[in-house]
């Protein structure tokens, strides 16, 4: 049995999801690397004020430690939603 780690967040207003990479790109100045951050102020697709909840650095560490002790490890739902350290070129655009 593996514990799943989502690399995305969900809006509190409508439940729509946002990739972890997009969260980092849009909110990197919000105390991001403090580790304890699991929620940021955001706007949903309709422009309404929302909280964007996700598994932050400390939560990922805790879930991974728990899974190592109690399960067979972790599984990432969609690794393509993770944040890139190096820009990736796609056709005419670049993702950072």
Q: Kindly tell me if the per-residue pLDDT of 86 is higher than 70.
A: no
- Which tens digits make up the pLDDT trace of 51-82? 999 988 889 899 999 999 998 898 886 666 55
What are the E-state strand segments in 1-96?
Answer: 3-5, 8-11, 17-19, 39-43, 49-54, 74-76, 88-90, 93-95
For the chain, what is the mean pLDDT?
A: 79
**10: which strand partners?**
17, 53
Closest by Cα among 27, 20, 56, 29 to 41: 27
Query: pTM here?
Result: 0.71
């Amino acid at each position: 049995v593996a514990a799943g780690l989502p690399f995305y967040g969900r809006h509190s207003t409508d439940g729509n999801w946002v990739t972890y990479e997009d969260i980092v790109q849009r909110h990197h100045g919000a105390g991001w690397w403090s580790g304890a951050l699991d929620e940021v102020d955001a706007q949903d697709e309709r422009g309404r004020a929302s909280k964007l909840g996700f598994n932050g650095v400390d939560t990922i560490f805790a879930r991974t430690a728990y899974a190592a002790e109690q399960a067979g490890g972790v599984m990432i739902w969609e690794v393509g939603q993770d944040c890139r350290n190096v820009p990736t070129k796609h056709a005419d655009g670049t993702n950072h």
